[in-house]
């Protein structure tokens, strides 16, 4: 798990990570919010349910796919948190909602 | 909405920002599209917020990073249209000088379209995949990812963590953490062939900016008591729900120890999917062990109207990228009649001299930090190569030797290798190295994946909102 270094501003945004309320600094990405709160999988793979977590943090690896505000398959490292954002781990394949 | 512009630049890192400033100052109407929420690229990631709110972090990250602040400020203040958080998923080159090209992007959940007369691809670099057993486990990230969350978020690893691989970033990230009071358990250096770098040493010594920095980092890490293990081989990561242990060989001895996080790095390669998707001609760069677009001295690609600058055109480093961005912008400004050819050539002297200076350091760094062969083409059958579709090294070898699968595109048909959400970004180079090795031919003979747009995820719904005329022939009407 990652920890916040000292000398960081105290301002916080409240988001829900898997329905648990957590506070993260503004400007964080959804993936950074996850890294601050878990050291285990943030998704399981569509192919064989392997555990995976953010890997590159720059938009190329797609390991940080997560469900954000109800929309699955979002690249968590490219989405900036906002007050009340719901960030969920993604289990296996996404469902198509018609 | 379809907006016309002179120049569309993809990427707001050093190359993209330098090109945008240079072009805008010469009256070129510029739009810069960047995937990240803030300008600066990966090198100056988060610099505006760090400068404003985390003064001590700026010190820990060092002067090279801090230098980005003024650069980004100049970019923000210039007459440049900057679209943050914009993912470009397709570009069509201009058909001729009179007609513009077409560029499609997604931003804030909506699609947008540009009609640029010239396009500059400045998509930068990404870290070369480092396929070792266990590299897909949670808790294993790239060194660049660790550095990114330091810059962008002020986050540092906790518990027992290790940095493994080769390249300057490994040492830099370790030093930045040490300054912040966070000490790595060890740095496992996989650099294997120091002798190969020797012939380039004399030239490297003409670039004090580089070698002094390298030595200073080594001294800093030594003074902090960070164990630096050299000539490390046989790296294996063990774990279940996350990484638990790291195993490696060093000096004939095998070590297996607990670990909470691992940061891997074996250099950077061009982040090339956009360039590949436009069918730009590419060349194999054996020194950098990667493909790069074929470019002339101005960054002009094989396709008229399309330019490439910075690391996307072959690794040159942040300062080299700055110079190539300016050169491309000068050529584009001249193309568009904003400056004369004489003006272009005269103004190109400074960036060209700077580029030559930074390029002088490359051959040594490329040779010294060339990844070991067994991490370019993994030997263990179980090592994951395509992380998305979960295709392992043994399966790729088997398909080549038993099924006579000749190349990466056939590998897609045989195994769906490279066809997951990352579109081959994290496996492409490993797959072509493996195929080349099995077939006993050089990598360029094997080629690379045929990358097709969209190179970023778009939904059918996004496509449906596009304001493009329907071509009857394209839909069979």
B2-126+269-339 and B129-266 share one fold = yes
- What is residue B455's predicted lDDT score, i.e. its pLDDT? 97
Residue from A2, A22, A93 whose CB has the most chain B CBs within 10 Å, to mutate: A2
Q: From the CA of A15, how many Å to the nearest CA of chain B? A: 16
pTM exceeds cut of 0.90 = yes
Contact: A59, B142; criterion CB under 8 Å: no
Q: What is the CATH number of domain B2-126+269-339?
A: 3.50.50.60
Count chain A–chain B contacts defined by CB atoms under 8 A: 140
From the list B137, B156, B387, the residue facing A2 with the nearest CB is B156
Q: Which CATH superfamily is domain A13-88 in?
A: Beta-grasp domain (3.10.20.30)
ipTM value for the complex: 0.97
Contact: A5, B154; criterion CB under 8 Å: yes
- What is residue B468's predicted lDDT score, i.e. its pLDDT? 76
| Residues A13-27 pLDDT 10s | 999 999 999 999 999
Q: Three-state SS string across chain B, please?
A: CEEEEEEEEECCCHHHHHHHHHHHCCCCCEEEECCCCCCCCCCCCCHHHHHHHCHHHHHHHCHHHHCHHHHHHHHHHCCCEEECCEEEEEEECCCCCCCCCEEEEEECCEEEEEEEEEEEECCCEEECCCCCCCCCCCCEEEHHHHHHHHHHHCEEECCCEEEEEECHHHHHHHHHHHHCCCCCCEEEECCCCHHHHHHHHHHHCCCHHHHHHHHHHHHHHHHCCCCEECCCEEEEEEECCCEEEEEEEECCEEEEEECCEEEEEECEEECCHHHHHCCCCEEEECCCCEEEECCCCCCECCCCCEEECHHHHCCCHHHHHHHHHHHHHHHHHHHCCCCCHHHHHHHCHHHHHHHHHHHCCHHHHHHHCCCCHHHHCCCCCCCEEECCCCEEHHHHHHHHHCCCCCCHHHHHHHHCCCCCCCCCCCCHHHHHHHHHHHHCCCHHHHCCCCCCCCCCCCCHHHHHCCCCCCCHHHHCC
Answer yes or no: CATH 1.10.10 is held by domain B377-446: yes
| Residues B217-227 pLDDT 10s | 999 999 999 99
State which fold the B129-266 domain adopts: FAD/NAD(P)-binding domain (3.50.50)
- What is residue A94's predicted lDDT score, i.e. its pLDDT? 75
Contact: A7, B55; criterion CB under 8 Å: yes
From the list B158, B387, B389, the residue facing A3 with the nearest CB is B158
| Domain residue ranges of chain B, discontinuous segments joined by + | 2-126+269-339, 129-266, 377-446
| Domain residue ranges of chain A, discontinuous segments joined by + | 13-88
pLDDT score of A98 more than 60? no
Contact: A60, B37; criterion CB under 8 Å: no
- What is residue B352's predicted lDDT score, i.e. its pLDDT? 98
- What is residue B471's predicted lDDT score, i.e. its pLDDT? 66
Query: CA separation (Å) from B218 to B223, B249, B361?
Result: 9, 22, 18
Ranges of residues in chain B whose predicted pLDDT is under 50? none
Contact: A42, B154; criterion CB under 8 Å: no
A71: left (phi over 0), alpha (psi -120 to 50) or beta: beta
């Amino acid at each position: 798990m990652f920890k916040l270094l000292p000398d960081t501003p105290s301002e916080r945004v409240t988001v829900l990570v898997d329905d648990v309320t957590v506070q993260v600094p503004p400007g964080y990405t959804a993936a950074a919010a996850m890294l601050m709160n878990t050291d285990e999988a943030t998704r399981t793979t569509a192919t064989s349910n392997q555990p995976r977590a953010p890997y590159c943090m720059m938009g190329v690896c797609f390991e940080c796919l997560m469900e954000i505000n109800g929309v699955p398959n979002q690249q968590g490292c490219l989405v900036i948190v906002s007050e009340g954002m719901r960030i969920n781990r993604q289990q296996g394949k996404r469902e198509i909602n018609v | 909405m379809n907006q016309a512009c002179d120049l569309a630049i993809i990427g707001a890192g050093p190359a993209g920002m330098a090109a945008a400033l240079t072009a805008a100052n010469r009256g070129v109407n510029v739009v810069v599209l960047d995937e990240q929420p803030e300008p600066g690229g990966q090198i100056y990631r988060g610099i505006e917020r760090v400068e404003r709110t985390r003064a001590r972090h700026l010190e820990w990250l060092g002067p090279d990073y801090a230098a980005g602040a003024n650069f980004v400020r100049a970019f923000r203040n210039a007459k440049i249209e900057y679209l943050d958080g914009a993912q470009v998923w397709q570009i069509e080159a201009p058909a001729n000088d009179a007609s513009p090209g077409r560029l499609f992007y997604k931003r804030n959940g909506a699609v947008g379209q540009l009609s640029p007369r010239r396009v500059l691809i400045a998509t930068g670099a990404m870290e070369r995949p480092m396929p070792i057993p266990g590299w897909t486990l949670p808790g294993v990230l790239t060194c660049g990812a660790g550095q990114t969350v330091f810059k962008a978020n002020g986050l540092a690893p906790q518990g027992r963590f290790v940095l493994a691989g080769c390249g300057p970033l490994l040492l830099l990230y370790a030093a930045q953490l040490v300054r912040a009071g966070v000490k790595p358990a060890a740095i496992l250096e996989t650099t294997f062939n120091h002798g190969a770098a020797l012939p380039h040493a004399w030239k490297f010594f003409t670039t004090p900016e580089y070698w002094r920095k390298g030595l200073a980092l080594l001294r800093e890490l030594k003074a902090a008591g960070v164990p630096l293990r050299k000539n490390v081989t046989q790296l294996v990561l063990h774990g279940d729900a996350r990484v638990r242990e790291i195993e490696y060989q060093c000096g004939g001895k095998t070590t297996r120890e607990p670990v909470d996080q691992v940061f891997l790095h074996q250099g950077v390669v061009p982040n090339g999917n956009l360039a590949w998707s436009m069918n730009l001609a590419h060349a194999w760069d054996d020194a950098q062990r990667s493909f790069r677009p074929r470019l002339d001295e101005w960054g002009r690609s094989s396709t008229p109207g399309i330019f490439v600058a910075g690391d996307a055109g072959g690794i040159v480093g942040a300062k080299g990228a700055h110079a190539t961005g300016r050169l491309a912008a000068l050529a584009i400004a001249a193309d568009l009649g904003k400056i004369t050819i004489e003006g272009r050539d005269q103004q190109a002297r400074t960036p060209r001299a700077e580029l030559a200076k930074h390029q002088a350091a490359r051959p040594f760094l490329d040779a010294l930090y060339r990844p070991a062969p067994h991490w370019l083409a993994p030997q263990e059958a179980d090592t994951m190569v395509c992380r998305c579709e979960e295709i392992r090294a043994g399966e790729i070898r088997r398909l080549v030797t038993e099924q006579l699968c000749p190349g990466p595109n056939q590998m897609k048909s045989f195994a769906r290798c490279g066809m997951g959400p990352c579109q081959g970004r994290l496996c492409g180079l490993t797959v072509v190295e493996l195929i080349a090795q099995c077939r006993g031919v050089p990598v360029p003979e094997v080629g690379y994946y045929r990358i097709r747009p969209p190179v970023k995820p778009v939904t059918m719904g996004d496509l449906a909102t596009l304001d493009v005329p329907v071509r009857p022939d394209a839909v069979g009407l």
